[in-house]
Amino acid sequence: MSDKTREEARGPALLSRRRLLKLGAAAALLACTPAWARALPARSLAFKHLHTGEQLSITYFERGAYDDIALATINHLLRDFRTGDVFPIRRELLDQLAFVHAAIGSDAPFQVISGYRSPQTNDMLHRTSSGVATRSLHMDGMAIDVRLADTRTRKLRDVAADLKLGGVGYYASSDFVHLDIGRPRQW
């Protein structure tokens, strides 16, 4: 029997072993995940990007684990819309958004003004606008500027500030709230 014939004959057995190994790895991972983590409620977010018109409603955390595909989809939506650069948005920021949304009891998606900002975009905004930090947390995927269609921005600011999950900036004249996962502070 040639080597090729032997490989063909073993093919289904190898596939079966591979499938068994994958199932075993998944079972081991599930067994290692504490029961309390598997029982955690799913976390979902909905966005409407005001500059691109893109919309997204997605569950990014389920059964005690973050969904990498969902996170990549969110990263794409929250990209620097001026340059197209995509950067990982920190999970803690997404959790902050989910907790704020739940605390408010809103049914509306977050309207996104600004998510990730590339260094080039941040530098341009810093030179042309007041209130843009030289080294903004937007550049590290740690900040977002949002509002909710069914909630006054003042209420969004107050609820986020009460949760003390990070920084909260209120821009009344532009009608948005800045949320970040830096140290809790307000402006």
54-79 per-position pLDDT tens digit: 999 999 999 999 999 999 999 999 99
CA dist., res. 137 & res. 117, Å (int): 9
CA atoms within 13 A on the CB side of 65: 11
What pLDDT, in 10s, does the model give residues 126-159? 888 877 787 899 999 999 999 999 999 999 999 9
Beta strand ranges found along the chain (DSSP E): 43-49, 55-62, 65-66, 110-114, 143-148, 167-171, 176-180, 185-186
Smallest Cα–Cα separation from 132: which of 75, 174, 184? 174
CA dist., res. 114 & res. 178, Å (int): 9
0.85 exceeded by the pTM? Answer: no
